[in-house]
Amino acid sequence: MKLYLEMFIVFFKIGCLAFGGGYAVIGLLQKEIVELKQWVDNDELTDIMAISQTLPGIIFVNSATMIGYRKKGILGATVATVSSVMPTFFLILILTFVIWGVTDNPIVHKAFTGILLGVTALILNSVKKTWKTAVKHYPDIILAVTATVLLLFTGLNVVLILLLMAGLGFAKNLYALKKEAEKLEAR
């Protein structure tokens, strides 16, 4: 029971701070889930984030669900999912009633601009942390740059780019395994 309460508090807290969506929350997940709670390690979190991006829905909620399931099965996934969406649900209710009529106000507009700049910094920090765990070899850099170029400069669908990178990453690792087997055979 203690772990369920702890999961609820952690995912609720992250949900309260998850401005900017899934990419901005990577740093928070890394700090809370990997460093403080040690529920998963960096590589597992990177895998969870990659899978969460390919699934429909909100990246943070998908990640919370998978981490909750990993720790405590279906009930853990349910607790993590509900606690991760509660802050957003209540915030949307409040914003609908309070701010809806003042979005043209210059002060409100400047506040949202400040939030957007803060979210940009969170996303860049997440890119840096993800880069450290995902990019380990020269071919990884080529794949990351290729994916970035395809995303920024083509009209290709994100899912197609993810599938292409998954295929290329699989082929790269298969080739590396084959080379390693050949080295062992030669000895």
For the chain, how far is it from start to end, CA to CA, in angstroms?
54
Whole-number Å distance between alpha carbons of 164 and 29: 27
Helix (H) or strand (E) holding 33: none
Whole-number Å distance between alpha carbons of 64 and 69: 8
Whole-number Å distance between alpha carbons of 24 and 123: 4
**DSSP assignment, residue 104?**
T
**DSSP assignment, residue 146?**
H
Q: Which residue has the higher pLDDT, 68 or 106?
A: 68
Whole-number Å distance between alpha carbons of 108 and 115: 11
Whether the pLDDT of residue 10 is over 90: the answer is yes
What's the pLDDT tens digit per position in 120-179?
888 888 888 888 878 888 888 888 899 989 999 998 888 899 899 999 989 988 988 898
Note the pLDDT of residue 21: 67
**Neighbouring residues of 75: CB distance < 8 A, sequence distance ≥ 6:** 4
Are the C-beta atoms of 7 and 81 separated by less than 8 Å?
Answer: no
What's the pLDDT tens digit per position in 85-101?
998 888 888 877 777 67
Q: What is the pTM of this model?
A: 0.58
Long-range Cβ contact pairs of 140-146 (< 8 A, separation 24 or more):
143/168, 143/169, 143/172
Helix (H) or strand (E) holding 1: none
**DSSP assignment, residue 58?**
-
Domain coordinates of the chain in residue numbers? Answer: 2-134, 135-187
What's the pLDDT tens digit per position in 13-65?
988 887 666 677 888 888 889 989 999 998 898 888 888 888 887 888 899 99
Q: Which residue has the tokens 């997440």?
A: 126
**Neighbouring residues of 83: CB distance < 8 A, sequence distance ≥ 6:** 7, 8, 9, 10, 11, 12, 15, 64
Note the pLDDT of residue 125: 83
Say how many residues make up the chain: 187
Report residue 184 as tokens. Answer: 């062992």
Note the pLDDT of residue 22: 65
